[in-house]
């Protein structure tokens, strides 16, 4: 039996863990670090670098260095988020035929799934090297507010690098498992997860080994990258005011500013002032131009306070949905590197009326929880009885006149199964279209379309007479299966909901075959897949 691992596939950094006896432990990468930059770079001589070697290429090779790909996975090119982010990225993203995103790098086009697979494959190789055995199965975490498309895309990324995903688990839930196993405590927990690209808040109860999620909420486009961009935009704007030169149009200069802004943000978590010093950032006919600017913690907080306040508003919604007051929360767990920011901790402390717990590294706790879940699935941990997670969105079908009928409500415990009866709207109707949607709006057009299929062969009858039972089933990964059944004839149509876009099965297999050939060629190169 091969070793099971848990992977936190992060926007900025990723992490892998395993269970050493009854304790989760982080697996170091080839550089000896516990976390790996979620960066992939393609060099001029055709090599593909992953992690720290790729990150070192960012300034000198920005157009072929891919980061923050988690923000792209499962997204449509024409979505508002993508139209915003593409203006900030040094690498080029284009639109696929099906409306998905393609990334142009190294003279080729890659899907976000394939780029993500390079990161997952690197972590898999690190784990195999550390453990001395093959690794074929993993539990992989995703933001709690990832939709069906993003979850399936993450599973596809794992398949490309040869990993069988035995469970997709929400990041805050994974963190609570690691915390619960570490502390053996019971009570109400709030998991505040502010990572590089996403924010989630989960309210759950631990009682006698049962981890019961009460509610979850979040924003898959709110994270540390946005804090960085606030400072980057400020620097670029100030330079424009002083020199009438737009550094946002210079990819090399912008990448230097990005690295300096990230470094300054990290330093300001531990000091009240730092300096950004970027010589020869640009030039005019009169000579070279430089950036030398002192940045105070209070200045950064002023730039980013609205972002932190957005997380507090989302936290309030999650508490309301769980029917819990902040004062009832027994422990607050911080997850994600951005939670190291003093302003974040101050706001969280004020909101919940208590200091957050800080016993487990916020960069590692999610991977540790994923490793614990892997062992639970295999039946190797007996003191944790049950994990009850929830679906982050309502699921239902389109009804007459463009309405949306919810069948499974948001924050329903998963796995879940529910059947609802519908009927025809026309006399002698022989076919019913089932349009599966995800969202909270009463109007179908304002929700996300997941699948469309037909139930055919209904016996002719007056409108309103046939009974069509529509059954929704959500598995433990949060993925959906829908069945429509004509009660009179017994005819039914069943569909496992796959993204309307994403990789087709033959496309996925083609990428897998290509990766196997590349792995065989490069397996002996450290830092390469």
Name which of 9, 111, 222 is nearest 501 in CA terms.
111
Catalytic residue among 3, 70, 137, 498: 70
Gap between the Cα atoms of 336 and 358, Å rounded: 12
CB burial of residue 342 (10 Å; 0-12, 13-18, 19+): middle
Which one from 171, 200, 331, 477 is the annotated catalytic residue?
171
Does the annotation count 226 as an active-site position?
no
**Catalytic residue, candidates 3, 8, 200, 389:** 8
Which two tokens mark 252? Answer: 């090399």
CB 9 within 8 A of CB 141: yes
Any catalytic annotation for residue 250? Answer: no
Q: Which of 3, 100, 193, 205 is catalytic?
A: 193
Choose among 403, 398, 471: nearest CA to 435: 398
Beta-strand runs (E) in 298-426: 331-335, 386-390, 395-399, 403-408, 413-414, 416-422
Over its C-alpha atoms, the chain yields an Rg (Å, rounded) of 24
Query: Is 469 among the catalytic positions?
Result: no
Strand 199-207: give its sheet, edge to edge: 331-335, 187-194, 199-207, 210-219, 386-390, 413-414
Residues in Cβ contact with 131 at an 8 Å cutoff, skipping those fewer than 6 apart: 3, 18, 27
Contact call for residues 139 and 102 (beta carbons, < 8 A): no
Pairing of strands 108-110, 65-66: unpaired
Q: Which residue has the tokens 């994600």?
A: 336
CB 144 within 8 A of CB 172: yes
Helices and strands, number each (H, E), in the chain: 11, 28
> To which residue do tokens 């927990």 refer?
189
How far is the CA of 502 from the CAs of 80, 146, 395, in angstroms? Answer: 18, 15, 20
Active-site residue, 389 included: no
Active site residues: 8, 70, 171, 193
């Amino acid at each position: 039996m091969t070793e099971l691992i848990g992977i936190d596939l992060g926007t900025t950094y990723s992490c892998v863990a395993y269970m050493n006896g009854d304790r989760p432990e982080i697996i170091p990468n080839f550089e000896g670090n516990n976390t790996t930059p979620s960066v992939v770079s393609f060099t001029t001589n055709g090599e593909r670098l992953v992690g720290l070697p790729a990150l070192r290429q960012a300034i000198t090779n920005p157009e072929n260095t891919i980061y923050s790909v988690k923000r792209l996975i499962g997204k449509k090119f024409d979505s508002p988020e993508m139209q915003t982010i593409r203006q900030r990225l040094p690498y080029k993203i284009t639109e696929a035929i099906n409306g998905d995103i393609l990334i142009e790098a190294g003279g080729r086009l890659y899907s976000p799934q394939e780029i993500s697979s390079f990161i997952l494959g690197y972590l898999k190789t690190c784990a195999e090297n550390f453990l001395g055995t093959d690794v074929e199965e993993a539990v992989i975490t995703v933001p709690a507010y990832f939709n069906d498309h993003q979850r399936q895309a993450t599973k596809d990324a794992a398949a490309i690098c040869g990993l069988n995903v035995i469970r997709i688990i929400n990041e805050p839930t994974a963190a609570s498992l690691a915390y619960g196993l570490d502390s053996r405590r019971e009570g109400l927990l709030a998991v505040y997860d502010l990572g590089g690209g996403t924010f989630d808040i989960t309210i759950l109860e631990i009682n006698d080994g049962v981890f019961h999620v009460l509610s979850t909420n979040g924003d898959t486009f709110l994270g540390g990258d946005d804090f960085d961009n606030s400072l980057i935009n400020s620097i670029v704007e100030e330079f424009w005011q002083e020199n009438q030169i737009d550094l946002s149009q210079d990819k090399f200069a912008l990448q230097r500013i990005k690295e300096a802004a990230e470094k300054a943000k990290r330093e300001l978590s531990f000091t009240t002032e730092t300096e950004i010093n970027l010589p020869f950032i640009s030039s005019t006919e009169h000579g070279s131009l430089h950036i030398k600017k002192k940045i105070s913690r209070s200045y950064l907080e002023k730039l980013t306070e609205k972002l932190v306040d957005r997380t507090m508003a989302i936290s309030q919604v999650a508490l309301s949905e769980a029917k819990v007051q902040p004062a009832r929360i027994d422990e607050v767990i911080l997850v994600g590197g951005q939670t190291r920011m003093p302003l974040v901790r101050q706001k969280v402390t004020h909101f919940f009326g208590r200091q957050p717990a800080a016993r487990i590294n916020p960069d590692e706790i999610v991977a540790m929880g994923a490793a614990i879940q892997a062992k639970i699935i295999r039946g190797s941990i007996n003191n944790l009885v049950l994990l009850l997670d929830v679906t982050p969105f309502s699921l239902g079908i389109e009804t007459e006149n463009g309405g949306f009928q919810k069948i499974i409500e948001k924050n329903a415990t998963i796995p879940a199964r529910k059947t609802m009866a519908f009927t025809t709207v026309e006399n002698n109707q022989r076919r019913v279209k089932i349009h599966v949607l995800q969202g909270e709006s009463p109007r179908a057009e304002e929700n996300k379309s997941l699948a469309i299929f037909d139930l055919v062969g209904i016996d002719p009858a007056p409108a309103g007479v046939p009974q069509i039972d529509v059954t929704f089933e959500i598995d433990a990964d949060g993925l959906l299966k829908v069945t429509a059944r004509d009660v009179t004839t017994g005819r039914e149509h069943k569909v496992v909901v796959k993204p309307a876009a994403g990789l087709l099965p033959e496309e996925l297999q083609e990428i897998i075959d290509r990766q196997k050939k590349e792995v065989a060629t490069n397996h002996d190169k450290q830092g390469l897949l």
